[in-house]
Structure 1
Amino acid sequence: MATLPSLPSSTQKRDRTNENFSRATQRLMRRCNQLSDRYNADVYIVVRRNHRHYDYNSTNDPLFPTPLIDIVRKPIPGTYSYPLAIRRTPASFKQSRAITPLSPTSSPMTSQRDSEEDED
């Protein structure tokens, strides 16, 4: 099988990673702004890439965002108490799209038939 000739450097695609990141970050922050406006919610988000930080804060409140150290599990006398933060990680958004077929021994119909036989 013949190998394909390599493309000359003038026809190679340029790296658009920075542009794509910039657009994605802009869309994320626009979406955060919509969330804040529609639901009267305070939103704060930080994105860090290549030692640079990009942040969005929907309020000018100096006490927001609440430092993680102040978000406590149990009330501490004389301090504010907050419910636990709901933390999301990349694993929170992974969905398995693969559909695994049921084996004959684990199908719902088999287990239903087995339970009916046990009752007789």
Structure 2
Amino acid sequence: MSDLYSRIYGVVRLIPAGRATSYGAIARYIGSPRGSRMVGWAMNQCHAHKEYTPAHRVVNRLGMLSGKHHFPGENVMQELLESEGIMVVNDQIQNFDQVFWDPFKELDEISI
């Protein structure tokens, strides 16, 4: 696993249940502001690693479940989010601004 992917996974593992963030927020936090797609690619690969990474908590900047097709089953991503109390309608997190977890605000320092 690359060092970059390790840093991405480290941030994603800090997202608490019931919260969600965006690919871009993670990319900016790790110092790669144009790396949203790279974060998406990392989420697509996280299932292959031993340590659990809650990839379902990472969505696009609008709160859309853009990575849902990478989960086993059509609605698994939505079901995981809803099991944590997040409401999803038409593949979009409702009240995303209230659910949004910003690593710059939530984490004291870059330690990933």
**TM-score above 0.5:** no
TM tier, smaller: 0.3 to 0.5
TM value normalised by structure 1: 0.33
Structure having the larger proportion of residues in helix: 2
Report the structure number with the largest CA radius of gyration. 1
